[in-house]
A and B are shown apart, each in its own frame.
Chain A
């Protein structure tokens, strides 16, 4: 690449004057003392530490509980900008659910020649146990986190469809709480759309998908792998906010054809299980026999209509990185419309032509493992050393089918507060989507993740990224 690319800054565009959505904020900011704001930053950190908004880092015994750094400059999106994004997300999520129903039933998309059969048959994320199963309400992905990146005034791309168990929503909510606590004056001056209804909407949305076996008010539980899981805080937070029980595998067993939890008064059936445990560990009788995180026999109860599992087992096929490259076709096939949100152009390394191109251009591309997540096992070409690129080349050549490659996008920046004042950093956005039989509910905004290191494009919290509060303005 020639020269340093110029990035779109969401606060200042390509110039120096604040863009319209940021005008009121910048006006306020100009009159603020940076030292006071920096001390507010420390206040926020102490608050997060006290509440225990922490995550665990795997393989790091010295820092079992870490904070995700929080930056107190909000990311601001205009109502009009958001409306278009939300419409695109809704379209995409509808398509995902229709796609999941189809591939676990008649596979029309394969018959129509729009998706190669081996993309499903040879995919680890495809669960044969789900063939012919229709989940309650025909909803597969109750909770979706559609990762977006922005590259310009009106350019949003979908980076990933997280259709298994997207995390981060507790950070979205705690970030807003913290901002309200620290800067009440900002919220009286600037009208920001609320996010606080999320837990109530989640409860409503899950309740609407209760199985036939449920009589009366649905009993909801959140299934967590336990306190050592990196997202345990979020599991406890969501259970608490929804007034649901937080359960682990050893609290559950199958009793009289229902999945039931051991309470102080005996076993009580669960109607809807919001599971934060991967498919593989869900049922030792049907999947990984060594799993102690799941419930023996839950899949049999599920297939018999005795419980709703959210998200449904087998949804991983829809956010698989190899399937991702077909998403524009998938959206069109099921909705009959062109996709509103763009896909990032993707090279499938399983295809010889594409592989050759990728190998020739490693230094300019981002290469991802098809089944990887959390920013592990990926190569960011422009940021990698020669040695790292060569090491990755060997891995790629050994198993090209495991990888896809994408151009490095000119990710937008939003300023963060540093000791030297505002400084631009790259961001992405994870909006949270709730799907029920009668509606799709998208919380305005979502979780903005920010790469705290100057120039870095990796926003993952496990790789040193931070978060920001995300404001969608009222009309």
Chain B
């Protein structure tokens, strides 16, 4: 397979995952603005920071304002990080790697693009927003489903999966990075309404509310939330889960190519941080520092994968 094709698969699935996650964040922000309008502005600020688009937004619109932020994140042509731009980029990558995809996967991503192009042609009305967000998640899931159901489990599949998990872990980490302070054990205002909403938002932004409640008997505890999103290998959006999968997929590539690469050492080092399964150690080290380290190390891993598999010359 061409290095460019491997890179195209990696990015196609990163973009799809990112679009889906941005939709989750908008959903969480919308929820807050509907239920606690006083907290809304800081929530939109935090969401813009998680997506890395604060500066781009404020340059055009100034202070965060719900409808403007939503439109900016969904479809603003001036925002290269919008969901629509992400889906377009995913489809463009899919066109580049078309020969590596089954017809089903290509059609799923092409249809995702066509449907959203229509839905996001104009600013979305408030009353349509929940449905549009649902369609985005659903269309992205269709692509994933086509991938699982029709693709041969070889290097092509592995590069697609690595892109998915890499982006997903990155998104979970960025959300934690914005909210770490409310998960610190030192801030003991348990039960205050403000914290409950904040915790709820973290779970909602990662679509893990229901999973968390099931596994924790409905007990909302910041430390448990942090542990859940970072260390719980059962949760498909946790850092531990994503990095376990990246390690597996790199291992399959090693097996197929009969070559072990530098990126695997970087991935192993990241995985080992989660294997200890010790939340106290993370809090002792500093949650914020832990996440900052993680974002730095995962960026380095991304660059190394690009070099090892010759995505670019």
* Interface residue ranges, A against B (CB under 8 Å): 49-52, 227, 232, 236, 239-240, 245-248, 250-251, 261-266
In chain B, what residue has the closest Cβ to A241? B99
Is B111 in contact with A50, judged by CB distance below 8 angstroms? yes
When the two chains form the complex, which single residue of A51, A232, A245 contacts B107, counting CB atoms closer than 8 Å?
Answer: A51
A51 to B103, CA, bound (A): 8
Q: How far is the CA of A262 from the CA of B6 in the complex (A)?
A: 11
Q: Of B6, B99, B114, which is in contact with the most chain A CB atoms at under 10 Å from its CB?
A: B99
B257's partner among A232, A240, A250, A264 (CB-CB below 8 A) is: A264
Encoded as 1 (CB less than 8 Å from any A CB) or 0, chain B from 1 to 34 comes to: 1111110000000000000000000000000000
B96 at the interface (CB under 8 A from A): yes
B92 and A227 contacting across the interface, CB-CB below 8 Å: yes
Specify which chain B residues have a CB less than 8 angstroms from the CB of A245 in the assembled complex.
1-2, 5, 99
Number of B residues, CB within 8 Å of A: 23
Interface residue from B1, B96, B98, B106 paired with A263 (Cβ < 8 Å): B1
Closest to A246 in B: B99
Are A240 and B99 neighbours in the complex by a CB distance under 8 Å? yes
Minimum Cβ distance to chain A for residue B32 (Å): 38
- B-side residues, CB < 8 A to A, are 1-6, 92, 95-96, 98-99, 103, 106-107, 110-111, 114, 155, 257, 259, 309-310, 313
Please indicate the chain B residues that have their CB under 8 angstroms from the CB of A239 in the complex.
99
Measured CB to CB, the closest approach of chain B to A52, in angstroms, equals 6
Are A52 and B2 interface neighbours, CB within 8 A? no
Which of A49, A236, A240, A264 meets B3, CB within 8 Å? A264
Q: A263 contacts which chain B residues (CB < 8 A)?
A: 1-3, 310
Residues in chain B near residue A236, CB distance under 8 A: 95, 98-99
Partner of A265, one of B92, B106, B257: B257
Kindly list chain A residues whose C-beta atoms are within 8 Å of the C-beta of B259: 265
Task: Report how far A4 CA is from B142 CA in the complex, Å.
Answer: 56
Contacts of B313 in A (CB 8 A): 250, 262
Expressed in whole angstroms, the minimum distance between the Cβ of A220 and any Cβ of chain B is 12
Q: Return B5 CB to nearest CB of chain A, in Å.
A: 8
Chain B nearest Cβ from A227, distance in angstroms: 5
B2 and A240 within 8 A (CB): no
- The verdict on A240 contacting B98 (CB below 8 Å), with A250-B313, A251-B2, A265-B257 known, is yes
Given A236-B98, A262-B313, A264-B309, 10 new contacts (CB under 8 A)? A50-B114, A51-B106, A52-B95, A52-B106, A227-B96, A236-B95, A245-B5, A247-B2, A263-B3, A264-B310
Question: Contact between A50 and B95 (Cβ–Cβ < 8 Å)?
Answer: no
Chain B residues, Cβ within 8 Å of A266: 310
B106 to chain A, nearest CB (A): 7
For B4, the closest partner residue in chain A by CB is A251
20 A-B residue pairings within 8 Å (CB atoms): A49-B114, A50-B107, A50-B111, A51-B106, A51-B110, A52-B106, A52-B110, A227-B95, A232-B95, A236-B95, A245-B99, A247-B2, A250-B4, A250-B313, A261-B2, A262-B3, A262-B313, A263-B310, A264-B257, A266-B310
| Residue from B1, B4, B257 whose CB has the most chain A CB atoms within 10 Å | B4
Q: What residue in chain A is nearest B111 (Cβ atoms)?
A: A50
* Given A262-B2, A262-B310, A264-B3, also A50-B110 (CB < 8 A): yes
Shortest beta-carbon distance, B205 to chain A, in Å? 33
- How far is the CB of B305 from the nearest CB of chain A, in Å? 10
B313 — nearest CB in chain A belongs to which residue? A262
A264-B6 in contact given A51-B107, A250-B313 (Cβ < 8 Å)? yes
Min CB gap A461→B, angstroms:
19
| Shortest distance between the CB of A262 and any CB in chain B (Å) | 5
A264–B257 Cα distance when bound, in Å, is: 9
How far, in Å, is B163 (CB) from chain A's closest CB? 14
A287 to chain B, nearest CB (A): 22
Q: A248 CA to B6 CA in the complex, in Å?
A: 14
Q: In angstroms, how far is the closest chain B Cβ from the Cβ of A362? A: 44
CB of B96 to closest CB in A, whole Å:
6
Q: Once bound together, how far apart are the Cα atoms of A232 and B94, in whole Å?
A: 13
**CB within 8 Å for A264 and B155 given contacts A51-B107, A251-B2:** yes
